[in-house]
Structure 1
């Protein structure tokens, strides 16, 4: 005989509502909303740079123009030495970035490996300096620049930018050095490497993601800095990108060149976008690896 067992009352057929992927849909909507919220100002700026002056001043706003022009891009290079401004920003940013890496990497290795007296105090000071609002240093730096005669000199920007970004370099590189096995250093010492030789030839090639991450962060901070560049550099031929964009003027006193400012902003941002895209994998690897151990 065939025995028929009663159905388990706890086992219920899965309803159509519970099988509907509400969570995935809500997650996708949230991601799209965040992307739109983040990219909308950038898209607006890019579109404004290609709009005609009539569309820029039109009421109601023309969000997606049908008439495109390159006149604003031609204007910023024809009326102002914009390429020279970009070279100035590149020189200041690259120099300060290299100095941060050269000064911060040995300091980070010393704090990660050597038994230094007052090590915790030094780390606390580095962390405080990293979190310190640098705008509060403006008046003091202004007096130093006046006293040393560094006005209209790139050193007036390179030195503060380096000082402001070295603590970040130390913190990130120290985390990487702490993750490296000590056996590598012991083997290098047995092979006759000095501390500097071991750092330059063995350890630094292994910390390339950290170097790229801190270098790009330092470069972006120096490239975008505005207040110090506006105050310490007044000579037209030595101005940087942020100052040049802010000081763009129209053909008359009452005209605000929105199109030219948008074009200048796009041109000034392109080098940063290219830099991040080229080193995207290194940046992600550096941020994730550096966050494992602190």
Structure 2
């Protein structure tokens, strides 16, 4: 290989490493700044010269959110709502995607387009009708109304991702299972589902994160700490004349860290689940 080619290859590789490092810094820097802020004293946060290193450090903000503001109640509410939403999204969305991808369903792409169109409505446009319906049914300030709304928001994504994943599984597997006497339900539960775990992990995490972070519907349909979720709880920290930046940063760290750990733990399945459906075998 000529020396000019080697130099060009070296420069390209260095440029890629530098670009990757810049992207990582750009993505991680806000979280690191929040982490640093959560351990700094209030007098340092109001200082004209900001400091990245939390010295001297303090745990006062974490004590405030859990002892004074009862932040653990918001975490429990979010865990219940996001967990139920994920469970129902995977159950209903998995069955729908299996039927559209593996069974003989006419106009299945039209059905998929109709499902996708549901998610295209601006959320602010449907708050008022949903509010009136929830009030009439007595569902205000309940987990039920949040789970139902989040289910309608998450199902289109779950169905589309799982549909693409199911399409990559060879049809010969279905034929062999049918010859052995397996019906559609047994085919889905015993054969297709175990082969599609990366797709289910990916869509489950996406649905969980969506429900975990949603703010507008949670603010509109809940009115007390007994049902309010984390984003609403963080918004309640502020008042008219004071913004507790340290408490907000501590709450943001507590909320974000579990999601980061989940994504890191399942990153191999996430990448496989997102890319597998891009190529049809």
Separation in 2, partners of 1:31, 1:70:
34
Q: CA separation in 2, counterparts of 1:79 and 1:14?
A: 66
Q: Deviations over 1:68-114 (max 9, x none)?
A: 11110011111022112111101000101111111111111111123
Q: 2:132 aligns with which of 127, 132, 143?
A: 143
Question: What TM-score comes out, normalization by structure 2 length?
Answer: 0.93
Which residue of structure 2 lines up, in the alignment, with residue 116 of structure 1? Answer: 105
- Residue in structure 2 matching 1:271, options 237, 253, 258: 258
Correspondence for 1:66 among 42, 47, 55? 55
Map 1:38-117 onto structure 2 (within 5 A): 38-117=27-106
Alpha-carbon spacing, 1:67–1:184, altered in 2? closer, same or farther (3 Å)? same
Deviation (angstroms), 1:115: 2.8
Query: What are the superposed Cα offsets for residues 195-247 of structure 1, whole Å, 9 maximum, x if unpaired?
Result: 11111111101100000000000000000000111110102221111111111
RMSD: 2.1
8 Å Cα contact 2:74/2:228 also seen in 1: yes
Question: Is residue 171 of structure 2 the alignment partner of residue 182 of structure 1?
Answer: yes
1:39 Cα deviation after fit: 1.5
Kindly indicate whether residue 233 of structure 2 is the aligned counterpart of residue 241 of structure 1: no
- Structure 1 segments, 4+ long, off by >6 Å, are none
What stretches of structure 1 of length at least 5 have no aligned partner? Answer: 1-12
* Superposition deviation, residue 16 in structure 1: 11
> What is the deviation of 1:130?
3.8
Secondary structure at the aligned position of 2:48 is classed as: coil
Tell me which of 185, 205, 211 is aligned to 1:216. 205
Cα distance in 2 for partners of 1:201, 1:14 equals 57
Q: Is the contact made by 1:134 and 1:164 (CA closer than 8 Å) also made in structure 2? A: no
Instruction: Report Cα offsets for 1:140-193 as digits up to 9, x if no partner.
Output: 211211121110111110001001111111111111211111221122122222
Count of residues in correspondence between the two structures: 280
